[in-house]
Amino acid sequence: MTEMNKTWILRARPVGEVKETDLELVEAPLAPLNEGEVRARTIYLSLDPTNRIWMSDMDAYLPPVGLGDPMRGGGLGLVTESRFDGLEPGDIVNTGLAHWSLYNTLPGAGLAKMPQLPGVPLTAFMGPIGATGMTAYFGLMDIGKPKEGETVVVSAAAGAVGSMVGQIAKIQGCRVVGIAGSDDKCKWLVETAGFDAAINYKKEDVGAMLDKHCPDGIDINFENVGGEIMDAVIARLNDFSRMPLCGLISTYNATDPVPGPYNFANLLMRRTLVKGFIVIDYYPRFAEGIQQMAQWLMERKLKFETDVVRGLENAPSSLSRLFEGKNLGKLVVQVSDEPNKS
């Protein structure tokens, strides 16, 4: 009997938050593989704030997902069939920019096979040594250029990117202040991830708390959020500060034009370097980033959490966890069991 695939298809452009009816889960038979292709059954599907951007018809860094097309997304897959020399059933690969599908059929060339690292769980390849880890590593190290003794502030600090940024900055000898949306997250940041301080922006006056926790001003603002939080940080930047502009999640569901930043002039007065970046720009240097992050992981210098939702059918409804701040660490959908863990 022909095996069936399941794929989420984008049916409507979301207005504001994504609704489940914006996508449809469609079943279709799997086609036979062509020469050079592999089939990978998704183990973990990455859910990312940028999924929301890809659903909008906007001028972004990648074209939008077309209406009627499979939703774009990546993760880890178990090779179940291969017509590509160099990959065989049982291998685990990073599927790159594939689909929100049970199975992805992919060109074998260029697929990265995941190595086994002692003591490192597979979920690390979705976090510290995956795309979000690379975002943190290159955004901070290449653009932020942290120096010992400097003060680094990171927003969405308990998320996939932010939690890595803060810990890498600590390894570089910086003072690190995180901004996050709950007391539990702030506790995790200080007690587990080793941040010097954390601010609960939903309860506390961010500006006043930044004044308290950053007595020498702010040298690096790793920006994940935008809006009022970004404004409060910009107002406290030091001369020749740096601002890796990684994300603006507070604006992704906006239906009206987004105002600000109100403290824009301070970027001029402080001669701040602001640089937007997209992690895919760093693909050619991923090996370097993965090697360093893997080493820190194996030395137990990085703590990470994975927020796991089970079932491909829950992908669209789970995306809201990112916008409601329900996730601690990297949000993934577990689509099928890890090998040897079933």
Ligand X SMILES: NC(=O)c1ccc[n+]([C@@H]2O[C@H](COP(=O)([O-])OP(=O)(O)OC[C@H]3O[C@@H](n4cnc5c(N)ncnc54)[C@H](OP(=O)(O)O)[C@@H]3O)[C@@H](O)[C@H]2O)c1
**Binding-site ranges for ligand X (CB under 6 A):** 48-50, 132, 135, 156, 158-162, 180-182, 185, 224-225, 229, 246-250, 277-279, 322-323, 325, 327, 331
Q: How far is the CB of 222 from ligand X (least distance, A)?
A: 9
Residue 58 beta carbon to ligand X: minimum distance, rounded to whole angstroms: 14
| Minimum CB–partner distance for residue 164 and ligand X (Å) | 8
Shortest distance, CB of residue 136 to ligand X, whole angstroms? 8
Q: What totals of helices (H) and strands (E) does the chain contain, helices first?
A: 10, 17
Nearer CB in complex with ligand X: 83/326 = 326
* Contact between residue 245 and residue 278 where contact means Cβ atoms under 8 Å apart: no
Tokens 């690379």 correspond to: 134
- Other beta carbons within 10 angstroms of residue 103's beta carbon come to 23
Least Å distance, CB 39 to ligand X, is 27
Nearest approach in angstroms of CB 36 to ligand X is: 29
- Residue 207 CB, nearest approach to ligand X (Å): 15
**Whole-angstrom distance, CA of residue 157 vs CA of residue 168:** 12
C-alpha 124/C-alpha 334 separation (Å) is 14
Query: What is the CA angle 7-9-13, rounded to 5?
Result: 155
Asked if residue 86 lies in contact with residue 110, where contact means CB atoms within 8 angstroms, the answer is no
Q: Name the residue nearer to ligand X (CB basis): 108 or 127.
A: 127
HSE, CB side, 13 Å, CA atoms: give it for residue 79: 24
Nearer to ligand X, 7 or 51 (CB): 51
Angle at CA of residue 152, ends 281 and 218, nearest 5°: 115
Q: Residues 235, 236, 241, 246: is their CA dihedral positive or negative?
A: negative
- Nearer to ligand X by Cβ, of 4 and 62: the residue is 62
**Rounded Cα gap, residues 160 and 165, in angstroms:** 9
Phi and psi angles of residue 92, each rounded to the nearest 5 degrees, phi first: -110, 130
Q: Judged by CB, which is closer to ligand X: 185, or 242? A: 185
What burial letters (b/e) apply to 201-237, b meaning 16+ CB within 10 Å?
beebebbebbeebbeeebbbbbbbbbbebbbbbbbbb
Nearer to ligand X, 247 or 261 (CB): 247
Distance from C-alpha of 55 to C-alpha of 19, rounded to nearest angstrom: 12
Tell me the closest approach of the beta carbon of residue 119 to ligand X, in angstroms.
Answer: 24
Q: Name the closest residue to ligand X (Cβ).
A: 159
- Judged by CB, which is closer to ligand X: 151, or 250? 250
By beta-carbon proximity to ligand X, the closer residue of 24 and 307 is 307
Is the CB of 117 or the CB of 277 nearer to ligand X? 277
Residue 135 C-beta: closest distance to ligand X, Å: 4
